[in-house]
Amino acid sequence: MATTATLRPSSVEGTRFFMIMAFIMSAIIVAGFVLNLAMGRSSFAVPLPYHIHGIIFMGWIALYLSQHLTISMGNRALHIRLGQLAYLWIPLMVAAGTMIIVVSARRTGGPFFFAQNEFFVSNMAVLLCFGGLGLWALRQRRYTGWHRRLMLVAMSLLTGPGLGRLLPLPLLIPYAWTFTVCLTFLFPIIGMVADKRRDGRVHPAYWWGLGIDVGVFVVSMLLAYSPIGYAATDWIIAGTPGADRPMEAFLPPGFAM
């Protein structure tokens, strides 16, 4: 998603890598939701907030892919114009994500294979981390190396819901949430390996981006399992159907894979 920066030869060669990674991450997200629909685990018969959330997040995927396609084709003018939308879309994503986390926690208590405090506190932290890294990437748009690597790291965080729908998470209780988030770290790691093979070094954007990811996740889990984390979760779900399920991850009676 570079803009006006002059590309080094290795950066030009790397454009194909970033486009491939963009399509892989986007495909994982879409595949997870499609699989759930196909298997009857979810449907379109849900409250309006779910539809709003879906439209906004799928719109981001379309924008993210469009940015990689425009820059790979050398259409910088369109790339720059489309990129301006991201300044509005990323905050919209954070708002929509916050909305759906709260709605889901109150409506069902969140996915049963996640502890409620993890789903609310750590999930919110990961969402905010995406927003922060995404906006940082936009601020670095004149510096191609930083810009597209930070955006890759930010996008990797959004693969969690897709991965979670593709994996047998009930079998991973009580570590389903930790396992899912840690899997998202693989995408920046792949980028680091690609950097090392192509340039002989890892760009500092990956160290910063992945370091922030890991740090935010660790802190969020400590907070989730602190008295503050439990109290915040209880406050959110108090008096709603979400309060009827256990706080910890569990298998519903009669559940079968």
CA–CA separation, 107 and 236 (whole Å): 11
Q: Tell me, what's the pLDDT at 207?
A: 97
How is residue 118 annotated by DSSP? I
Strand ranges, E, within the chain: none
Instruction: Answer for the pair 99, 49: CB distance below 8 angstroms, yes or no.
Output: yes
Cα 92 to the center of its chain, rounded Å? 14
208 vs 218: CA distance, rounded Å? 15
Which residue type does 137 have? A
Question: In which element (H, E) is residue 160 found?
Answer: helix 159-166
The reported pLDDT for the residue numbered 257 is 64
CA–CA distances in Å: residue 3 to residues 7, 81, 82, 154, 208: 10, 10, 11, 18, 21
> How high is the pLDDT of residue 51?
94
How would you class 235 by CB atoms within 10 Å of its CB: exposed for 0-12, middle for 13-18, buried for 19 or more? exposed
d(CA 34, CA 137): 29
Q: For residue 251, what is the DSSP state?
A: P
Q: What is the token pair recorded at 111?
A: 């996915």
pTM over 0.85: yes
- Over the chain (257 residues), the average pLDDT of each successive run of 10 is 38 75 96 87 85 95 93 87 92 97 96 97 98 96 92 97 94 96 97 94 97 98 98 97 96 78
